[in-house]
Structure 1
Amino acid sequence: MKIAIHHQCSDFSSYRAERVKSLFNVESGANFTLDADLPIDGNDWKIGVVVGPSGSGKSSMGKKLWGEEAIYNPAWPSRKPLVDAIAPKGKFDEVTAALSSVGLGSVPTWLRPYHVLSNGEQFRANLARLVVEAPARAVLDEFSSVVDRQIAKIGAGAFAKAWRRTSGQVVLLSCHYDILDWVQPDWVFDTATGKFLRGWDRPRPRIDVELWETNWQHWPFFEPHHYLKLPKMIAATNYVATVDGQLVAHLGVSTRPGLIEARACRLVVMPEWQGAGVGMRFMDAVCELWLQGQNRYTKPMRTLFHTSHPGLASALRRSLKWTQVSGKLVGESRARCIESVNRSAQRKGTESTGNAGYGGHFRAVQGFRYLGDEE
């Protein structure tokens, strides 16, 4: 595919324009030319990247590739949350899976309209929508330009993995070279040098995660990103994951009566790290410690984990280290919860909460048990 770009505008002759020409020995700023030969006519690739500095012709190339209609710039409804705005006639599980796959796994965010989201959330929402719609050909302009570099790199890597599960081809236009190692593109064209590169021979960067045993002191940092608001777990041991000293993930582990099994809860991965695979690696590492007896009871225990998050439940089902042990569609008895809450209030000498209680609602809670590396 040969692409020829020729732009022309008026050649101004004002005093300042002529002085600039004289000072910098420039004859004119009226013409821009870019010729590129892209051997990409086949269907043997999934992701291409056109990279280069601003003003070097990336957007013009994007329009020339498959026509302006291939530029992906979706309109978002202002009165619908993300979960309704993406593929309204599609399957619910496909939408939530796409949101999770690009690192937008924060459930409260799914219930907000696009226009109130942060730049980073909008960036990932666009990627999730593109993954669900999966057009045969698409061009994404200004890819990752409006978000901080941490979100850009993690989001780029998460999108690349999700997109490769579709049957379409996508070209990313970006002025940032730091995404290339994360995207692992099938080809790259650099508008700064005019060079075309087939494949990408550098590996995706390692994410070295450190695990720390702690208490509830770090929970206020993670709590706003947890989809349930519940009291702290009784007699829990807390763990946090850090990358280069930055707090990344949290998990609490307690025990079932009789110390027969451990119970993990309060898993939170910070939004800027969602989609990088950190959460599963972190939870597996904590559960492995308990399986090996490296806990305050010095007793080997398997760990149970319950979630209603469809993306996380799907990931746990795919993992050979976990097995599903339960699945409920409705919460526990609300009447029993109300009675328990009121008894607790009486013991504390406080006022009864009346009919306040949890349960009775539709909530597909799924339970899993950690098996480890069983032979």
Structure 2
Amino acid sequence: MQLPAWLRPFHALSNGEKFRAGLARLIAERPDRIIIDEFTSVVDRQIAKIGAAAFSKAWKRGGGQAVLLSCHYDVLDWLEPDWVFDTRTGELQRGLLRRRPKIELEIFQTDGSYWPQFEPHHYLKLPRMISAKYYVGFVEGEAVCHLAVSPRLDIKGMRACRMVVMPEWQGAGVGTRFLDDVCRLQFTEANPYHERTQAVYFHTSHPGLCAALRRSKKWVQVSQMMGGAHKGKSKASMKKTIAGKPKGTKSGYGGHLRAVQGFKMPRERAGA
């Protein structure tokens, strides 16, 4: 099994992964002024456009000035820059008004056969969800995001899980749009339990997604566990798990040692 990107050293990353890691570091450090040479020159043009849009959106939320040097024109609309100097023509354009291209997202319910494509990008190794329906979002025929939904009728709701957005599409707003639309569907006849569904529940450890859901008027935060599971309970859980396994088993499920936050989309906020 291949190690996830965040566990590999920088030199072991692909060009696209190095590009995204470098931009993420700049956003985190946020210098007052920065010049980036050969911006997007070493990556696939699809990755370049989505990466440019994600960087622009994140950078503009804070202070600092960034000058991007590039020989590619295809990222301009995605960057929505304050000014552009074209060295080929010598023309300087200030206050350049560009409309970021729309991303047309199509959502289909599937049978789970797409999950193997997305599973390597999920931060947990998990079994299939019980009684789940699977949804996949496509852009121009390419599968870019995944979500599974299963009933939780004991709490009058549905549970959304296995949320994955392909790395080259992260940061463009596709994921939150996809999550909102799939969860909204659960209050319609697309869900056989829609009359009994009062809310859709979703948990995540992704800090950026948590922040986006807190900003959204459709979601309400209902829980957070920022320090991981209780060690005593984890130890007891592992002992109980091992006791029911064949002799020689030395491991078991002991709880998640990770930060996780919970949200719900109530029916009255879904806009279904």
Q: Which ranges in structure 2 are unaligned for 5 or more consecutive residues?
A: none
Matched, 1:141 2:37: yes
**Does the Cα contact within 8 Å between 1:142 and 1:173 map onto a contact in 2?**
yes
Query: Normalising to structure 1: TM-score of the pair?
Result: 0.66
Identify if the C-alpha distance between structure 1 residues 158 and 290 changes in structure 2 by more than 3 Å, giving closer, same or farther: same
Do the aligned residues in 1 keep the contact of 2:156 with 2:196 (CA within 8 Å)?
A: no
- Residue 340 (structure 1) shift: 5.1
Kept after mapping to 1: 8 A contact 2:153/2:196: no
SS at match of 2:39: coil
Contact 2:242 2:249 in 1 (8 A): no
Q: Is the 8 A contact 2:4 2:120 kept in 1?
A: no
2:122 corresponding residue in structure 1: 226
Q: For 1:110-259, what aligned pairs fall within 5 Å after superposition?
A: 110-258=6-154
Secondary structure of the corresponding residue to residue 21 of structure 2: helix
Aligned equivalents of 2:188 and 2:151: distance in 1? Answer: 15
Output one character per residue of 1:287-312: Cα deviation in whole Å (capped at 9) or x when no partner. 10112342133435211111122222
Deviations 1:18-40 (A, max 9, x none): xxxxxxxxxxxxxxxxxxxxxxx
1:313 counterpart SS class: helix
* Equivalent residue for 1:357, pick from 249, 252, 255: 252
Partner of 1:336: 237
Contact conserved, 1:287 with 1:303, CA < 8 A, in 2? yes
How much does 1:236 deviate?
0.4
Q: What's the secondary structure of 1:253's corresponding residue? A: strand
Offset from partner CA, 1:141-198 (integer Å, 9 cap, x none): 1000000001100000111111112221111110100000000111111111111111
Look at both structures and tell me which one has the larger radius of gyration over its CA atoms. 1
Q: 1:373 to 1:186 in 2, by over 3 A?
A: farther
Distance in 2 between the 1:257 and 1:355 partners?
35
3-state SS in 2 of match to 1:363: coil
Is 1:296 the equivalent of 2:226?
A: no
TM-score, normalising length from structure 2? 0.89
Shift of 1:112: 2.3
Asked if 1 retains the 8 angstrom alpha-carbon contact of 2:160 and 2:202, the reply is yes
User: One-letter code of the match for 2:237?
Assistant: R
**Cα contact 2:242–2:250 (8 A) shared by 1:** no
One-letter identity of the residue aligned with 2:211: S
Q: Which runs of 5+ in 1 are unaligned?
A: 1-106, 346-350
One-letter amino acid of the structure 2 residue matched with residue 296 of structure 1: P
2:9, 2:125 → 1: CA distance?
A: 22
Letter in 2 for 1:121: E
Q: CA RMSD in A?
A: 2.2
Equivalent position of 1:323 in the other structure: 220
What number of residue pairs does the alignment pair up?
Answer: 263
Aligned residue runs from structure 1 range 39-118, under 5 A: 108-118=4-14
